[in-house]
Structures are given as C-alpha cells and as structure tokens.
Amino acid sequence: MLTKESLQFLDDLKKNNNRDWFQDNKKRYEIFKKDYHQLVSDFLDAMKPLDPSLELLEIKDCTFRINRDIRFSKDKSPYKAHLGVWLSSGAKGANRSGYYVHIEKDASFIAGGFYSPDADQLKKVRKEIAFFHEDLEAILAEKNFKKEFGNFDVNENNSLKSMPKGYEKDHPAIAFLKLKSFTTSQKFDISEVTQNDFVSKMSKKLIALKPLNEFINRALDTDEF
C-alpha cells in the first residue's frame, strides 16, 4: 500500500506542477519514490506466484519516470501527477499484453490487455482472433473475468467504424476485429490504496486477465502475419 503522505505529494504536485515547486519538495519526492518502489515490490511478490511469466521482472521493469515527455504535447506540465505499475512478461520498452495499476485522484483504475499496438502487431492479433475467436470468446465469458471486467473497453478512439482490410463484414468476430487496442479496465476509489489489503485485493482481480494476456502474447510471439 501507499502512505497517505505519498498520495498527498501527488495531490500537491498536481496543483503545483512546475520545476521550482518540485525542486523545493525534492525530499518529499524521494520519500514518495521509495514508497512507490515498495508498492511495486509488493505487487511483484503477489503476482509472480499467480503468473510465472512475470518471474524475471524487477522493480525497475515495472515503474515509470515522473518526468513527462512534453515534446509533442500541448500540455507542458513537466511531471506526472499519477502513479503507474506495469507488469508484463516482455522486455522493458517492448509493447506486449500485461497488467496495469493506475493511481490518481478521481481517476484510479486497474487494467490489462494490449494497448496501442503498432501495425504489424495489430495484424498478428487480428489474425489470431480471426482463426481462434472461440478461444477469445471463452476467455471473455469466464465467470471471474465477466465479474471483474465485463468486456473490452470500446470507444470511438479504439474501434474502427468499418471492417479492417482483408476481413469479411459477416465474420463472427467482427466486434473484436474492429478494435485497435485490446484493453479492459475497472475503476477503484483512491481511498483503497492506503488499506492493508490493497495489493492482495487488486492482484486477485488482475489475475482474471491472465488468459487474455496469454492469448494476445501468443499472437505476438508468432513469426507469421
């Protein structure tokens, strides 16, 4: 769990997102960073026994820098006022399916699956879905998955209006093949973060995503398009 002091640091940073304030509060940041790393360590301890593909992960593989990349952003705020934990079997920097925990005031959630694949990766996943959509349908219909996540997150930004090139309009997996990202999520209240059972509670929810991650990653691991 995170301490209330760490959450307060994020809240204060959101209200004072500038370099001068950050430098004046560098000691608070160092305490926050230590707390952040401990949270990641706790998630790794909880998730590794549940998903052996995470066994080689270290804390540094699952954390994010607090500095924002503002080169192509209209928002020039230099720092992230949220915290993220990313657990994936791929090498750091490699885009694969995995588990994600996002902690931010009024916007906290857990999630999983495959976000924003490149063109080649998208072709691989769509091909896997086209040939093995029954497998995917069974994963999404599984009782625990249905209870915690329901279905894929679908909105106008991550779904095509028409079928992707090469697929028939009457394909039984049409709804899945239109997706551009394959993610699912569940919101939670930030007050839960400071509770003793936060990591174990969220880990039990996240592990429902394991079959989905395995389905997507087996597609990415193939050499075929």
Residue-level pLDDT at 225: 55
On whether the CB atoms of residues 2 and 104 are closer than 8 A, the answer is: no
125-156 pLDDT tens trace:
999 999 999 999 999 999 999 999 999 999 88
Q: Is it the case that residue 224 has pLDDT exceeding 70? A: no
Residue-level pLDDT at 71: 84
CA 139 distance to own-chain centroid: 18
Residue-level pLDDT at 156: 85
Residue burial 146-179, b: 16+ Cβ < 10 Å; e: rest = eebbeebbeeeebeeeeebeebeeebebeebbbb
Q: Is it the case that residue 123 has pLDDT exceeding 70? A: yes
Mean pLDDT taken over the chain: 94
Structure tokens at 31: 């305490």
Residue 74 one-letter amino acid:
K
Residue-level pLDDT at 74: 86
Q: Would the pTM of this model clear 0.85, i.e. be above it? A: yes
Residue-level pLDDT at 208: 98
Q: Is 35 helix (H, G, I), strand (E, B) or coil?
A: helix
All structural domains of the chain: 4-220 (3.30.930)
d(CA 198, CA 85): 14
Residue-level pLDDT at 10: 97
Residue-level pLDDT at 223: 74
66-107 pLDDT tens trace:
999 988 888 899 999 999 999 999 766 678 999 999 999 999
d(CA 87, CA 43): 9
Contacts of 223 (CB under 8 A, 6+ apart): none
173-184 pLDDT tens trace:
999 999 999 999
Phi first, then psi, for residue 31 (nearest 5°) are -65, -45
Q: Is 223 helix (H, G, I), strand (E, B) or coil?
A: coil
Helices 119-141, 210-220: inter-axial angle, 10-degree rounding: 150
d(CA 49, CA 202): 14
Contacts of 9 (CB under 8 A, 6+ apart): 25, 28, 29, 31, 32
- % of residues, the chain, pLDDT over 90: 86
| Number of CB atoms found within 10 A of residue 205's CB | 17
2-49 pLDDT tens trace:
999 999 999 999 999 999 999 999 999 999 999 999 999 999 999 999
